[in-house]
Amino acid sequence: MTRKSQSKTRWTQVAAVAALTLFGACGPIEYVNRVTQHAAESVDLAEREKANELSPYWWTRATLYLHKAREEAAHAGYAAANRFGRIAGEAAERASEEAASNRAKATKSNAKPATSGAAQ
C-alpha cells in the first residue's frame, strides 16, 4: 500500500467516524428541542390555563406522554422519547384550546341578561 493510499484510507476513516458521531448525536439534540422545549412549555401553558380542570382528558394525556418521553430519554430511547414528546405537545395544545373554549362557554352562560328599567 502506498503512502498516498494510506493517507486517503485514513481520511475516509476519520470522515466515517465524524459522520457517525454527528448523526449519533441527533437523537439527543432533537429530544432537547422537541421534549424539553416544545412539549414541556406546552404542558406548562396548559397548566396555567387550568386545563387540568377544564380539559381533563387532554391534560392527562399530555402529562402522561411527557412523563413517558422523559422516561424513555433516561434510558437513551431518543426515538421513542421524541415520538412521545410530539404527542405530549399536541395533547397539551388541544388541552389549552379546549380549556379556553370551556372557559368562554362558562363565562357566557354565567353572564346575566340585560334588564330594562321598565316595569313589567
Number of domains in the chain: 1
Q: Would you say residue 99 lies in a domain?
A: yes
Instruction: Say which amino acid occupies 47.
Output: E
- Which cell numbers hold the place of 31? 429530544
Convert the pLDDT of each residue in 78-114 to its tens digit: 889 889 999 999 999 999 999 999 999 988 888 765 5
Q: How far apart are CA 105 and CA 98, in angstroms?
A: 10
Q: Would you say residue 48 lies in a domain?
A: yes
Q: Would you say residue 63 lies in a domain?
A: yes
Q: Would you say residue 9 lies in a domain?
A: no
Q: How far apart are CA 101 and CA 108, in angstroms?
A: 11
Contact 85, 31 (CB under 8 A): yes
Convert the pLDDT of each residue in 4-46 to its tens digit: 666 666 677 666 555 545 555 566 777 777 777 889 999 999 9
CA 13 to chain CA centroid, Å, is 37
Q: Would you say residue 118 lies in a domain?
A: no
What domain range includes position 55? 27-109
